[in-house]
Amino acid sequence: MDGQTARHSLQGVASLPGDKSIAHRALILTAIADGSSTISGLPGGADVQSTRDCLRALGVKITDPDDAGVVSVEGRGLEGLKTPRSALDCGNSGTSARLLCGLLSAQKFSTTLDGDASLRRRPMARVVAPLRDMGASIDYLEQDNRLPLRIQGGLLPFTLHKPEVASAQVKSSLLLASLAAGTGCRLLEPVPTRNHTELMLAYMGSGLQIRDGLVELPPGARLRGSTLCLPGDISSACFLVAAAALLPGSDLLCENVGVNPGRLGFITALQEMGADIELLNPQTVAGEPVADIRVRHAALNAISLRGARIPGIIDELPLLALVASQATGRTEVRDAGELRLKESDRIESTADMMAALGLTIESFQDGFAVEGPQHIQGGLVDSRCDHRIAMTASVAGFLTTQKVAISDTDWIAVSFPGFRQLLERLVK
Protein backbone atom coordinates (compact mmCIF):
# COMPACT_ATOMS: atom_id res chain seq x y z
CA MET A 1 0.00 0.00 0.00
CA ASP A 2 1.28 3.50 -0.78
CA GLY A 3 2.68 5.62 2.05
CA GLN A 4 1.33 8.95 3.14
CA THR A 5 1.66 12.17 1.17
CA ALA A 6 1.21 15.37 3.18
CA ARG A 7 1.37 19.03 2.18
CA HIS A 8 3.11 20.21 5.35
CA SER A 9 6.48 20.20 7.10
CA LEU A 10 7.36 21.07 10.70
CA GLN A 11 10.02 23.74 11.13
CA GLY A 12 11.29 26.06 13.82
CA VAL A 13 12.06 26.10 17.53
CA ALA A 14 9.66 24.81 20.17
CA SER A 15 9.59 25.41 23.91
CA LEU A 16 7.72 22.76 25.85
CA PRO A 17 5.75 23.07 29.09
CA GLY A 18 7.54 21.85 32.20
CA ASP A 19 7.68 18.11 32.75
CA LYS A 20 4.41 16.91 34.28
CA SER A 21 5.89 13.88 36.05
CA ILE A 22 8.61 15.96 37.67
CA ALA A 23 6.15 18.74 38.54
CA HIS A 24 4.00 16.44 40.72
CA ARG A 25 7.08 15.36 42.63
CA ALA A 26 8.45 18.88 42.94
CA LEU A 27 5.22 20.15 44.50
CA ILE A 28 4.92 17.25 46.95
CA LEU A 29 8.56 17.21 48.05
CA THR A 30 8.84 20.97 48.49
CA ALA A 31 5.58 20.88 50.48
CA ILE A 32 7.20 18.63 53.10
CA ALA A 33 10.66 20.22 52.97
CA ASP A 34 12.15 22.35 55.74
CA GLY A 35 12.02 25.93 54.44
CA SER A 36 10.75 27.70 51.36
CA SER A 37 11.30 26.58 47.79
CA THR A 38 10.93 28.04 44.31
CA ILE A 39 9.81 25.97 41.34
CA SER A 40 10.13 27.40 37.83
CA GLY A 41 8.65 25.98 34.66
CA LEU A 42 5.62 24.49 36.42
CA PRO A 43 3.19 23.34 33.69
CA GLY A 44 -0.39 24.59 33.70
CA GLY A 45 -2.08 21.26 32.96
CA ALA A 46 -5.07 20.09 34.98
CA ASP A 47 -3.24 17.09 36.49
CA VAL A 48 -0.58 19.27 38.11
CA GLN A 49 -3.26 21.67 39.32
CA SER A 50 -4.91 18.72 41.09
CA THR A 51 -1.73 18.00 43.05
CA ARG A 52 -1.31 21.68 43.91
CA ASP A 53 -4.94 21.98 45.07
CA CYS A 54 -4.66 18.84 47.23
CA LEU A 55 -1.51 20.16 48.91
CA ARG A 56 -3.19 23.50 49.56
CA ALA A 57 -6.05 21.61 51.22
CA LEU A 58 -3.40 20.02 53.46
CA GLY A 59 -2.29 23.46 54.63
CA VAL A 60 0.62 24.13 52.26
CA LYS A 61 1.00 27.68 50.97
CA ILE A 62 1.69 27.59 47.22
CA THR A 63 1.46 30.69 45.05
CA ASP A 64 -0.27 30.72 41.68
CA PRO A 65 2.22 30.31 38.82
CA ASP A 66 3.30 33.46 36.98
CA ASP A 67 3.72 33.61 33.19
CA ALA A 68 7.00 31.66 33.45
CA GLY A 69 5.45 28.98 35.62
CA VAL A 70 7.26 30.16 38.76
CA VAL A 71 5.68 29.29 42.10
CA SER A 72 6.80 29.64 45.70
CA VAL A 73 6.14 26.85 48.19
CA GLU A 74 6.36 27.27 51.97
CA GLY A 75 7.48 23.84 53.12
CA ARG A 76 5.81 22.53 56.25
CA GLY A 77 8.37 19.85 57.08
CA LEU A 78 7.51 16.21 57.57
CA GLU A 79 5.18 16.84 60.52
CA GLY A 80 3.40 19.99 59.37
CA LEU A 81 0.55 18.87 57.09
CA LYS A 82 -2.96 19.60 58.38
CA THR A 83 -6.18 17.60 58.32
CA PRO A 84 -8.15 18.60 55.20
CA ARG A 85 -11.72 19.80 55.67
CA SER A 86 -13.08 17.47 53.01
CA ALA A 87 -12.02 14.68 50.64
CA LEU A 88 -8.99 15.45 48.50
CA ASP A 89 -10.06 15.62 44.84
CA CYS A 90 -7.33 14.27 42.54
CA GLY A 91 -9.37 15.05 39.42
CA ASN A 92 -8.12 12.89 36.53
CA SER A 93 -4.59 12.51 37.90
CA GLY A 94 -3.48 8.99 38.78
CA THR A 95 -0.06 10.35 39.79
CA SER A 96 -1.67 12.68 42.34
CA ALA A 97 -3.74 9.88 43.85
CA ARG A 98 -0.99 7.27 44.06
CA LEU A 99 1.77 9.55 45.34
CA LEU A 100 -0.48 11.23 47.90
CA CYS A 101 -1.68 7.83 49.07
CA GLY A 102 1.89 7.07 50.13
CA LEU A 103 2.53 10.45 51.72
CA LEU A 104 -0.71 10.40 53.71
CA SER A 105 -0.21 6.85 55.00
CA ALA A 106 2.28 8.16 57.58
CA GLN A 107 0.39 11.24 58.77
CA LYS A 108 -1.29 11.66 62.15
CA PHE A 109 -4.76 12.18 60.71
CA SER A 110 -7.27 10.51 58.41
CA THR A 111 -7.87 11.54 54.81
CA THR A 112 -10.20 10.56 51.99
CA LEU A 113 -8.85 10.49 48.41
CA ASP A 114 -11.21 10.72 45.47
CA GLY A 115 -11.19 11.64 41.78
CA ASP A 116 -13.35 12.06 38.71
CA ALA A 117 -15.26 9.23 37.03
CA SER A 118 -12.29 8.31 34.84
CA LEU A 119 -9.84 8.14 37.74
CA ARG A 120 -12.32 6.08 39.78
CA ARG A 121 -12.00 3.36 37.12
CA ARG A 122 -8.22 3.12 37.45
CA PRO A 123 -6.56 0.56 39.79
CA MET A 124 -5.26 1.56 43.21
CA ALA A 125 -4.36 -1.85 44.66
CA ARG A 126 -0.88 -1.70 43.14
CA VAL A 127 -0.15 1.11 45.63
CA VAL A 128 -2.51 0.16 48.44
CA ALA A 129 -1.33 -3.46 48.78
CA PRO A 130 2.38 -2.71 49.42
CA LEU A 131 1.45 0.21 51.69
CA ARG A 132 -0.76 -2.14 53.70
CA ASP A 133 2.18 -4.55 53.87
CA MET A 134 4.09 -1.71 55.56
CA GLY A 135 1.31 -1.39 58.13
CA ALA A 136 -0.74 1.40 56.53
CA SER A 137 -4.47 1.48 57.26
CA ILE A 138 -6.30 2.07 53.96
CA ASP A 139 -9.94 1.20 53.22
CA TYR A 140 -11.83 1.25 49.94
CA LEU A 141 -15.08 3.14 50.50
CA GLU A 142 -17.12 1.86 47.55
CA GLN A 143 -15.32 -0.71 45.40
CA ASP A 144 -12.17 -2.76 45.90
CA ASN A 145 -9.13 -1.50 44.02
CA ARG A 146 -10.80 1.83 43.22
CA LEU A 147 -11.18 5.35 44.58
CA PRO A 148 -12.55 6.72 46.83
CA LEU A 149 -10.47 5.39 49.69
CA ARG A 150 -9.88 6.33 53.30
CA ILE A 151 -6.35 6.55 54.72
CA GLN A 152 -5.84 6.39 58.49
CA GLY A 153 -2.34 7.72 58.98
CA GLY A 154 0.05 6.03 61.39
CA LEU A 155 3.55 4.81 62.15
CA LEU A 156 5.17 2.67 59.46
CA PRO A 157 8.24 0.44 59.98
CA PHE A 158 11.49 0.32 58.03
CA THR A 159 10.84 -2.04 55.12
CA LEU A 160 12.54 -3.79 52.21
CA HIS A 161 10.18 -3.31 49.25
CA LYS A 162 10.07 -5.55 46.18
CA PRO A 163 7.14 -4.12 44.17
CA GLU A 164 5.44 -6.62 41.90
CA VAL A 165 4.44 -3.92 39.40
CA ALA A 166 7.11 -2.02 37.44
CA SER A 167 5.73 1.44 38.14
CA ALA A 168 7.43 4.70 39.05
CA GLN A 169 4.21 5.75 40.79
CA VAL A 170 4.28 2.70 43.07
CA LYS A 171 7.97 3.19 43.83
CA SER A 172 7.44 6.89 44.57
CA SER A 173 4.46 6.19 46.81
CA LEU A 174 6.52 3.78 48.93
CA LEU A 175 9.43 6.21 49.16
CA LEU A 176 7.11 9.04 50.23
CA ALA A 177 5.51 6.86 52.90
CA SER A 178 8.92 5.89 54.29
CA LEU A 179 10.15 9.49 54.16
CA ALA A 180 7.08 10.83 55.96
CA ALA A 181 7.28 8.06 58.57
CA GLY A 182 10.93 8.88 59.22
CA THR A 183 11.87 5.21 59.02
CA GLY A 184 13.58 5.09 55.65
CA CYS A 185 13.48 1.99 53.45
CA ARG A 186 15.27 -0.17 50.91
CA LEU A 187 13.57 -0.78 47.57
CA LEU A 188 14.40 -3.21 44.77
CA GLU A 189 12.51 -2.79 41.48
CA PRO A 190 11.56 -5.75 39.27
CA VAL A 191 12.34 -3.60 36.21
CA PRO A 192 13.98 -0.14 36.26
CA THR A 193 11.47 2.71 35.90
CA ARG A 194 11.81 6.48 35.66
CA ASN A 195 13.78 7.78 38.64
CA HIS A 196 12.58 11.38 39.00
CA THR A 197 11.65 10.87 42.66
CA GLU A 198 15.04 9.42 43.57
CA LEU A 199 16.94 12.19 41.78
CA MET A 200 14.89 14.91 43.49
CA LEU A 201 15.13 13.28 46.92
CA ALA A 202 18.92 13.14 46.54
CA TYR A 203 19.10 16.73 45.24
CA MET A 204 17.07 18.01 48.19
CA GLY A 205 19.41 16.49 50.76
CA SER A 206 17.72 13.26 51.82
CA GLY A 207 20.88 11.18 51.59
CA LEU A 208 19.18 8.69 49.25
CA GLN A 209 21.59 6.40 47.43
CA ILE A 210 21.27 3.80 44.67
CA ARG A 211 23.63 0.81 44.63
CA ASP A 212 23.31 -2.00 42.10
CA GLY A 213 19.65 -1.20 41.51
CA LEU A 214 18.84 -1.06 45.25
CA VAL A 215 17.33 2.28 46.34
CA GLU A 216 18.19 3.16 49.95
CA LEU A 217 16.48 6.00 51.83
CA PRO A 218 18.11 6.44 55.26
CA PRO A 219 16.04 6.65 58.47
CA GLY A 220 15.47 10.20 59.66
CA ALA A 221 15.93 11.71 56.21
CA ARG A 222 14.70 15.27 55.78
CA LEU A 223 14.47 17.62 52.80
CA ARG A 224 15.79 21.16 52.52
CA GLY A 225 13.94 23.93 50.71
CA SER A 226 15.38 24.19 47.21
CA THR A 227 15.29 25.99 43.87
CA LEU A 228 13.97 23.65 41.20
CA CYS A 229 13.92 24.41 37.48
CA LEU A 230 11.76 21.94 35.58
CA PRO A 231 12.90 20.82 32.12
CA GLY A 232 10.53 20.64 29.17
CA ASP A 233 8.25 17.60 29.17
CA ILE A 234 9.71 14.79 27.05
CA SER A 235 6.30 13.10 26.72
CA SER A 236 4.88 16.30 25.24
CA ALA A 237 7.92 16.75 23.01
CA CYS A 238 7.43 13.26 21.57
CA PHE A 239 4.31 14.34 19.66
CA LEU A 240 6.22 17.15 17.94
CA VAL A 241 9.20 14.87 17.32
CA ALA A 242 6.95 12.25 15.72
CA ALA A 243 5.29 14.83 13.47
CA ALA A 244 8.66 16.19 12.33
CA ALA A 245 10.02 12.70 11.68
CA LEU A 246 6.99 11.89 9.49
CA LEU A 247 6.55 15.16 7.56
CA PRO A 248 8.95 15.59 4.58
CA GLY A 249 11.15 18.69 4.76
CA SER A 250 10.84 19.01 8.53
CA ASP A 251 13.63 20.40 10.72
CA LEU A 252 12.56 21.01 14.32
CA LEU A 253 14.45 21.95 17.50
CA CYS A 254 12.80 21.31 20.88
CA GLU A 255 14.69 23.30 23.50
CA ASN A 256 15.56 22.42 27.10
CA VAL A 257 13.83 19.03 27.25
CA GLY A 258 14.29 16.50 30.04
CA VAL A 259 16.16 13.47 28.69
CA ASN A 260 16.05 11.20 31.72
CA PRO A 261 17.06 7.72 30.46
CA GLY A 262 13.86 6.29 31.93
CA ARG A 263 11.81 8.54 29.65
CA LEU A 264 13.70 8.17 26.35
CA GLY A 265 12.02 4.99 25.17
CA PHE A 266 10.10 6.68 22.35
CA ILE A 267 13.11 8.69 21.14
CA THR A 268 15.27 5.55 21.16
CA ALA A 269 12.59 3.59 19.32
CA LEU A 270 12.34 6.25 16.60
CA GLN A 271 16.11 6.31 16.21
CA GLU A 272 16.08 2.53 15.75
CA MET A 273 13.40 2.99 13.09
CA GLY A 274 15.77 5.32 11.24
CA ALA A 275 14.66 8.75 12.49
CA ASP A 276 17.19 11.58 12.24
CA ILE A 277 17.26 12.71 15.89
CA GLU A 278 20.11 14.40 17.77
CA LEU A 279 20.46 15.36 21.45
CA LEU A 280 22.35 18.65 21.67
CA ASN A 281 23.74 20.83 24.49
CA PRO A 282 23.46 18.24 27.27
CA GLN A 283 23.50 19.51 30.87
CA THR A 284 22.25 18.63 34.33
CA VAL A 285 19.67 20.86 36.03
CA ALA A 286 18.57 20.15 39.62
CA GLY A 287 19.77 16.59 39.22
CA GLU A 288 17.92 15.94 35.94
CA PRO A 289 19.61 15.48 32.53
CA VAL A 290 18.45 18.09 30.00
CA ALA A 291 19.19 18.61 26.29
CA ASP A 292 17.87 20.14 23.08
CA ILE A 293 16.30 17.66 20.65
CA ARG A 294 16.75 18.22 16.92
CA VAL A 295 14.70 16.07 14.54
CA ARG A 296 14.53 15.99 10.74
CA HIS A 297 12.40 13.92 8.42
CA ALA A 298 13.69 10.48 7.46
CA ALA A 299 12.31 7.22 6.11
CA LEU A 300 11.33 4.80 8.88
CA ASN A 301 11.38 1.02 9.23
CA ALA A 302 9.50 -1.30 11.56
CA ILE A 303 10.80 -2.50 14.93
CA SER A 304 9.70 -4.86 17.72
CA LEU A 305 9.31 -3.80 21.36
CA ARG A 306 8.67 -5.91 24.45
CA GLY A 307 9.84 -6.72 27.97
CA ALA A 308 11.98 -4.28 29.95
CA ARG A 309 11.72 -1.62 27.23
CA ILE A 310 7.99 -1.11 27.72
CA PRO A 311 7.95 0.97 30.97
CA GLY A 312 10.10 3.65 29.31
CA ILE A 313 7.69 4.11 26.39
CA ILE A 314 4.32 3.18 27.86
CA ASP A 315 2.76 6.66 27.59
CA GLU A 316 3.82 7.08 23.95
CA LEU A 317 2.67 3.72 22.59
CA PRO A 318 -0.54 5.07 20.95
CA LEU A 319 1.68 7.58 19.14
CA LEU A 320 4.08 4.79 18.15
CA ALA A 321 1.16 2.93 16.57
CA LEU A 322 0.51 5.94 14.32
CA VAL A 323 4.21 6.25 13.47
CA ALA A 324 4.35 2.53 12.69
CA SER A 325 1.57 2.95 10.12
CA GLN A 326 3.98 5.13 8.13
CA ALA A 327 7.04 2.87 8.53
CA THR A 328 8.04 0.03 6.23
CA GLY A 329 7.33 -3.43 7.66
CA ARG A 330 5.53 -4.90 10.67
CA THR A 331 5.96 -3.16 14.03
CA GLU A 332 4.93 -5.27 17.01
CA VAL A 333 4.53 -4.23 20.67
CA ARG A 334 4.02 -6.85 23.40
CA ASP A 335 4.12 -6.99 27.24
CA ALA A 336 2.21 -3.69 27.35
CA GLY A 337 -0.95 -4.79 29.15
CA GLU A 338 -0.49 -1.73 31.39
CA LEU A 339 -1.96 0.27 28.49
CA ARG A 340 -5.40 -1.07 29.42
CA LEU A 341 -5.20 0.66 32.83
CA LYS A 342 -4.60 4.23 31.69
CA GLU A 343 -7.11 7.10 31.29
CA SER A 344 -8.78 4.83 28.75
CA ASP A 345 -8.06 1.28 27.66
CA ARG A 346 -5.35 2.52 25.33
CA ILE A 347 -5.07 -0.68 23.34
CA GLU A 348 -8.77 -0.46 22.51
CA SER A 349 -8.70 3.33 22.11
CA THR A 350 -5.71 3.16 19.80
CA ALA A 351 -7.34 0.48 17.66
CA ASP A 352 -10.52 2.56 17.35
CA MET A 353 -8.51 5.69 16.48
CA MET A 354 -6.59 3.84 13.78
CA ALA A 355 -9.79 2.39 12.32
CA ALA A 356 -11.38 5.85 12.22
CA LEU A 357 -8.38 7.02 10.17
CA GLY A 358 -8.65 4.11 7.75
CA LEU A 359 -5.65 2.32 9.25
CA THR A 360 -5.31 -1.37 10.07
CA ILE A 361 -3.98 -2.57 13.42
CA GLU A 362 -3.91 -6.00 15.05
CA SER A 363 -4.69 -5.83 18.77
CA PHE A 364 -3.51 -8.26 21.45
CA GLN A 365 -4.32 -8.45 25.14
CA ASP A 366 -0.87 -7.00 25.86
CA GLY A 367 -0.13 -4.88 22.79
CA PHE A 368 -0.59 -4.47 19.06
CA ALA A 369 0.99 -4.90 15.63
CA VAL A 370 0.90 -2.49 12.69
CA GLU A 371 1.98 -3.17 9.10
CA GLY A 372 3.12 -0.16 7.10
CA PRO A 373 3.17 2.03 5.23
CA GLN A 374 -0.55 2.79 5.08
CA HIS A 375 -2.56 5.76 3.85
CA ILE A 376 -4.26 7.95 6.45
CA GLN A 377 -7.80 9.04 5.67
CA GLY A 378 -9.93 11.71 7.26
CA GLY A 379 -12.44 10.70 9.88
CA LEU A 380 -13.93 11.28 13.32
CA VAL A 381 -11.74 10.08 16.21
CA ASP A 382 -13.31 9.48 19.60
CA SER A 383 -10.66 10.60 22.09
CA ARG A 384 -12.34 8.60 24.88
CA CYS A 385 -11.54 11.63 27.10
CA ASP A 386 -7.86 10.58 26.88
CA HIS A 387 -5.30 13.31 26.20
CA ARG A 388 -2.79 10.93 24.59
CA ILE A 389 -5.35 9.68 22.06
CA ALA A 390 -6.48 13.24 21.26
CA MET A 391 -2.89 14.40 20.76
CA THR A 392 -2.02 11.42 18.55
CA ALA A 393 -5.06 12.10 16.38
CA SER A 394 -3.99 15.76 16.16
CA VAL A 395 -0.65 14.67 14.70
CA ALA A 396 -2.48 12.42 12.23
CA GLY A 397 -4.45 15.43 11.05
CA PHE A 398 -1.27 16.92 9.59
CA LEU A 399 -0.40 13.72 7.74
CA THR A 400 -3.41 13.81 5.44
CA THR A 401 -5.11 16.33 3.19
CA GLN A 402 -8.47 15.12 4.48
CA LYS A 403 -10.16 16.44 7.61
CA VAL A 404 -9.55 14.68 10.92
CA ALA A 405 -12.15 15.60 13.54
CA ILE A 406 -11.52 14.75 17.19
CA SER A 407 -14.03 14.59 20.03
CA ASP A 408 -13.30 16.21 23.40
CA THR A 409 -10.00 17.89 22.55
CA ASP A 410 -10.29 19.85 25.81
CA TRP A 411 -8.73 16.80 27.49
CA ILE A 412 -5.39 17.73 25.91
CA ALA A 413 -5.15 20.40 28.61
CA VAL A 414 -4.61 17.61 31.15
CA SER A 415 -0.96 17.55 30.07
CA PHE A 416 -0.29 20.11 27.32
CA PRO A 417 -2.44 23.26 27.17
CA GLY A 418 -1.79 25.03 23.86
CA PHE A 419 -0.54 21.89 22.10
CA ARG A 420 -2.66 22.27 18.99
CA GLN A 421 -1.83 25.97 18.69
CA LEU A 422 1.91 25.23 18.95
CA LEU A 423 1.66 22.49 16.35
CA GLU A 424 -0.15 24.81 13.97
CA ARG A 425 2.49 27.53 14.49
CA LEU A 426 5.30 25.14 13.59
CA VAL A 427 3.61 23.65 10.53
CA LYS A 428 4.76 25.24 7.25
Q: Which amino acid is at 285?
A: V
H or E stretch covering 379: strand 379-381
CB 50 within 8 A of CB 23: no
CB 247 within 8 A of CB 8: yes
Q: 373: cis peptide before it, omega within 30°?
A: yes
CB 244 within 8 A of CB 251: yes
Dihedral pair phi/psi, residue 33, rounded to 5°: -80, 165
From the CB of residue 117, how many other CB atoms can be counted at a distance below 10 Å? 8
Q: Which of 379, 386, 255, 407 is nearest to 319 (CA)?
A: 386
| Burial annotation 46-59 (CB, 10 A radius, 16+ → b, else e) | bbbbbbbbbbebbe
| 315 carries an active-site annotation | yes
**Cα dist from 182 to 33, 79, 134, 309, whole Å:** 13, 10, 13, 34
Catalytic pick among 315, 352, 382, 386: 315
Q: What whole-number distance in Å separates Cα of residue 47 and Cα of residue 243? A: 25
144-149's contacts with Cβ under 8 Å and 24+ in sequence apart are 146/120, 146/121, 146/122, 147/90, 147/97, 147/113, 147/114, 147/115, 147/119, 147/120, 147/122, 148/87, 148/112, 148/113, 148/114, 148/115, 148/120, 149/101, 149/112, 149/113, 149/124
Residues forming the active site? 315
